Amino acid sequence: MIAWARTLLFILVFWGGSVPFVLGAPVAALFGRAALRSYAHAWLDFHSWATRRLIGIRTRIVGAPTEGPALYACKHQAMFETFEVARMLGTPAPIMKRELAGIPVWGWAAQRYGVIVVDRSASATALRRMMRDAEQALAEGRPVVIFPEGTRVKPGEMPPLKPGFAGLYRALGLPVIPVALDSGRLWPKRGAKRAGTVTIAFGDPIPPGLPRREIEARVHAAINVLESNVRG
Instruction: State the average pLDDT over residues 160-189.
Output: 92
122 pLDDT exceeds 60?
A: no
12 pLDDT exceeds 80?
A: yes
Model confidence pLDDT, tens digit, residues 38-79: 999 999 999 999 999 999 999 999 999 998 889 999 999 999
* pTM metric for this prediction: 0.90
Check if the beta carbon of residue 33 is closer than 8 Å to that of residue 173: no
Query: What is the structure's pLDDT at 105?
Result: 74
What is the band of 121 on the pLDDT scale with cuts at 50, 70, 90? low
Check if the beta carbon of residue 198 is closer than 8 Å to that of residue 58: yes
Sheet holding 57-62, edge to edge: 57-62, 196-202, 176-181, 71-74, 144-146, 93-97, 116-118
118 pLDDT exceeds 50?
A: yes
Residue 68: enclosing H or E segment and its boundaries?
none
Domain spans in the chain, listed from the N-terminal domain onward: 1-55, 57-92+143-231
Position 34, amino acid: A
Q: Which residue has the higher pLDDT, 120 or 146?
A: 146
Separation between Cα atoms, residue 51 and residue 59, nearest integer Å: 10
